[in-house]
Amino acid sequence: MSGPIRRVGVVGGGQMGAGIAEVCARAGLDTVVCEVDAAAARAARERVAGSLDRAVRRGKLPESAAQDALARLVFTGDLTDLADRQLVVEAVVESPDAKTEVFAALDKIVEDPAAVLATNTSSLSVMRLGRVTGRADRVVGLHFFNPVPVLPLVEVVTSLHTSADTVAAAEEFAGRTLGKTVIHSRDRSGFVVNALLVPYLLSAIRMAESGFATAADIDTGMELGCAHPMGPLKLADLIGLDTVASIAESLYDEFREPLYAPPPLLQRMVEAGLLGRKTGRGFHPYDPYDPY
């Protein structure tokens, strides 16, 4: 790969994928977002357009910059449209099967053998994803945080196969091009942030589950007693309870520590489709039209 990364692909246009695509476009990059079909691609475009509009209304972004960013974005339902990309970020559902399927397909589609294939996984093994390709040295974790246009951190996660050149390209992209703060993590479930955060969230869920305190009081206690900007149950709702459960399961599978085991209440809420902000109800009720 010659020169800086200017052509980016994002696989998945949900909450995280749309956010990643938005920050890429706002950074002046030619960005293609791929979804499962044309209808999902249209929904992804609406998601990004809505986020840009909110940034304009809140005085965070000039309207001209929002229009320019949207013009840099292409939305498609065909993975082969990513063939010429220098970097592709996978941001599909937190499922090993779904992610390995994407990486196996990208390995055949992305033409440049030096292109970087990145995963936005919260907890899964980067090495396992890389091994389904013929270019495991070019596979790296780029873990963004929700909401991507607002939160400044990216975890760069390297597997035993990831080359030094790939790490350097990923750090240059996330740090210099996107203006994010980069921290590094080894390829262990949860990486840095979620390995510390998820046990805290699960502890709060267990407290609510036992009737020890209400969800509102748990959140208020941590916000006003510990100066946290958001209580643990509100944060779990923002992340998505399905994602929290998936990360917890991955952590528990790797470490077998009881503190990582997802509580029954969390599992039942996921089964019921009460996933937090994105569904309008989790531990608290939400306006589904106000994602942040």
Residues 213-234, mean pLDDT to the nearest whole number: 98
Percent of the chain exceeding pLDDT 70 equals 98
pLDDT at 2 over 90: no
Q: Where are the domains of the chain?
A: 7-186, 193-279
Neighbours of 197 (CB within 10 A): 18
- Residue 292, pLDDT above cutoff 60: no
Contact indicator for 106, 82 with CB cutoff of 8 Å? yes
User: Can you tell me the distance from the alpha carbon of 259 to that of 256, in angstroms, rounded to the nearest whole number?
Assistant: 9
- Predicted confidence at residue 139, as pLDDT, reads 98
Residues with catalytic roles: 122, 143, 155, 194
Tell me which CATH code domain 193-279 carries.
1.10.1040.10
C-alpha to C-alpha distance for 6 and 56, rounded to whole angstroms: 25
Is it the case that residue 66 has pLDDT exceeding 80? Answer: yes
The residue assigned the tokens 């208020």 is: 220
The answer to whether residue 193 scores a pLDDT higher than 90 is: yes
Residue at 45: amino acid letter: R
Structure tokens at 239: 């992340």
pTM attached to this predicted model: 0.90
77-126 pLDDT, tens digit per residue, is 999 999 999 999 999 999 999 999 999 999 999 999 999 999 999 989 99
Quick one: which H or E segment has residue 68? Answer: helix 63-71
Token readout for 273 is 């489709």
CATH class for domain 7-186? alpha beta
Q: Is the dihedral of CA 215, 281, 277, 263 positive or negative?
A: positive
Distance CA 245, CA 124 (A): 13
